Chain A
Amino acid sequence: MTSPLQRKLKIAGPTAITANRLADGVVVWLTAGGGWSLSIGEATVATTAEEVQRLLAIAQSDENTAVGAYAARVALTPEGHAIPVNLRERIRVGGPTITPAASPARAA
Chain B
Amino acid sequence: MYVHDAFDRTFLQERVAEFRDQVARRLSGALTEEEFKPLRLMNGVYLQLHAYMLRVCIPYGTLNSTQLKALARVARRYDRGYGHFTTRQNIQFNWIKLAELPDAMAELAEVGIHGIQTSGNCIRNTTTDAFAGAARDEIEDPRLYAEVIRQWSTLHPEFTYLPRKFKIAITAAKHDRAATRVHDVGLRLRQRDGHTGFEVMVGGGLGRTPFIGQTIRDFLPKEDLLSYLEAILRTYNLGGRRDNIYKARVKIQVHEMGPEAFAEKVEAEWQAIRDGALRLDETAISAIADRFVNPDLPPLADHPPELTAALAEPAFARWHANSVAPHKAAGHAIVTLSLKPVGGPPGDCTADQMDAIADLADRYAYGEIRVAHEQNLVFPHVRQKDLPALWKALDAIGVATPNVGLVTDIISCPGLDYCSLANTRSIPIAQKLTERFADDARIADIGRLHVNISGCINACGHHHIGHIGILGVEKKDEEFFQITLGGKGNSKARLGELIGPAIPESEIVDAVERLVETYLELRTSPQETFIAAVERLGIEPFKERAYAPR
Contacts and interface: CB of A to CB of B under 8 A. Distances in A.
Interface of A: 20, 22-27, 63-64, 67-68, 85-88, 91-92, 95-98, 100-106
Nearest to B82: A101
B98 A24 contact: yes
Interface in B391-449: 416-418, 424-425, 427-428, 431
A25 B80 CA distance: 14
Nearest to A68: B47
Contact of B76 (A98, A100, A106): A106
Interface stretch (B133-141, B240-248, B293-301, B344-352): B344-352
B13 to A, nearest CB: 25
Contacts of B547: none
Interface of B: 26-27, 29, 32-33, 47-52, 75-82, 97-99, 344-345, 348-353, 416-418, 424-425, 427-428, 431, 474, 477, 479
A25 B97 CA distance: 7
B47 A26 contact: no
Contact of A101 (B49, B350, B418, B477): B350
A67 B33 contact: yes
Contacts of B47: 20, 25, 67-68
A64 B98 CA distance: 13
Contact of A92 (B29, B50, B78, B99): B50
Given A24-B51, A26-B50, A100 B477 contact: no
A25 B98 contact: yes
A25 B48 contact: yes
22 contacts: A20-B47, A23-B98, A24-B97, A24-B98, A24-B99, A25-B47, A25-B98, A26-B50, A91-B49, A91-B416, A95-B50, A96-B418, A97-B417, A97-B428, A100-B80, A101-B344, A101-B350, A103-B75, A103-B350, A105-B79, A105-B81, A106-B78
A37 B352 CA distance: 35
B27 A85 contact: no
A19 B444 CA distance: 47
Decide if the interface of chain A is mainly helix, strand, loop or mixed.
loop
B350 A102 contact: yes
Contact of A105 (B52, B76, B98, B418): B76
Best-surrounded residue of A24, A100, A101 (most CB of chain B within 10 A): A101
A64 B29 contact: yes
Contacts of A27: 49-50
A100 B351 CA distance: 12
A15 to B, nearest CB: 15
Contacts of A97: 417, 425, 428
A63 to B, nearest CB: 5
A67 B351 CA distance: 30
